[in-house]
Structure 1
């Protein structure tokens, strides 16, 4: 019998969405448990290291998004054909993670003056730099982030970039046709398309 999975996360896409994309792609059945930021303080102490997303299975709570995503990607044969290809996938995902951390730090900055300074750097320097590099990566890899074929880097990166551009309220693909191509390609995968059409509507 297949394991039963419960994904516990905020009522946003955020870091939960890469896992939801992988579940959708692989047809993996799971329960999507969501809670609000207001409910979080009462739940935090029950989560490993006080963080989410968490996947509960067989009475055990697992954490660390990319470690869990990598596990499911291996099950779905999406990590490449050998250790070298697996590393290239990791590099691409870690690169997008670098961008994500900077945008999230800006978004949750409480000091308005500091937030405005972070936004200026992000919009004028950081985001354009990353988008140009990522666009080049997709161009060099035959319309994918790595290896010229579908990998978990495509699913994870598209889930994150789609969320980040909504968080920043700006398009990441308007001037980056290769990036637009891979985002459209992933969103058109039947299982992903079905998930995106039915998922709860959230800001990011």
Structure 2
């Protein structure tokens, strides 16, 4: 599948846009990977739907909201659920993965502010409570579903989880899946998909 009418606009980082890039690459969909800096964003922001990135443009129509875009692309590349209930399960899992991401934001802010005391306090809670709570549950789901989040098959939830793990690792400066072999296998499986692997090898090097 190819298209020259798709444009993805975000900063020069993986973060919220990388799942979209993975899905587009998975579907062999051509797109413009527009990476902008702060000055360009200041000029563009007043003309965006809600003053947020990433932006997804297709055939001249533009939307924001990352998970909505990712859900749309998941359907577009045939990685949605087999029925409405599976779609609901995927949505619930993705919202929970996003919940975990949100719980890391206070620590990320303390890290950027170089507040060592607050960093240490928050990191202890994250490592002893937050991450184990979520990752143990995710691991159980993946084991139950034979290596995936939904019924032993690849869905966009697997890809969303994979790219979010990169965010967790970058924020916490560690491999969060070290004690979760089945989640690590899932991540590796996604990253070994030929079109995604090829993208990883050539994408710009960024921390986040």
What is the TM-score of this pair, normalised by structure 2?
0.90
**Residue of structure 2 in register with 1:193 after alignment:** 197
**Residue of structure 2 in register with 1:156 after alignment:** 160
Deviation (angstroms), 1:162: 2.0
Unaligned runs of 5+ in 2: none
Aligned residue pair count:
204
Deviation (angstroms), 1:39: 4.7
**Residue of structure 2 in register with 1:202 after alignment:** 206
Q: 1:82 and 1:3 mapped to 2: Cα distance?
A: 30
Paired residues for 1:15-30 under 5 Å: 15-30=16-31
More deviation, 104-113/177-186: 104-113
Considering only aligned residues, what root-mean-square deviation do their CA atoms show, in Å? 1.9
**Residue of structure 2 in register with 1:10 after alignment:** 11
Deviation (angstroms), 1:41: 3.4
Structure-2 change in CA distance of 1:107 and 1:39 (3 Å): farther
Structure-2 change in CA distance of 1:34 and 1:126 (3 Å): same
> CA-to-partner distance for each residue in 1:120-140, whole Å, 9 max, x for gaps?
221221112211111111111
> CA-to-partner distance for each residue in 1:121-180, whole Å, 9 max, x for gaps?
212211122111111111111000122211111111111112321221111221111011
Q: Does residue 49 of the first structure (1) align with residue 50 of the second (2)?
A: yes
Q: Tell me if structure 2 keeps the 8 A contact 1:3–1:57.
A: no
Structure-2 change in CA distance of 1:14 and 1:46 (3 Å): same
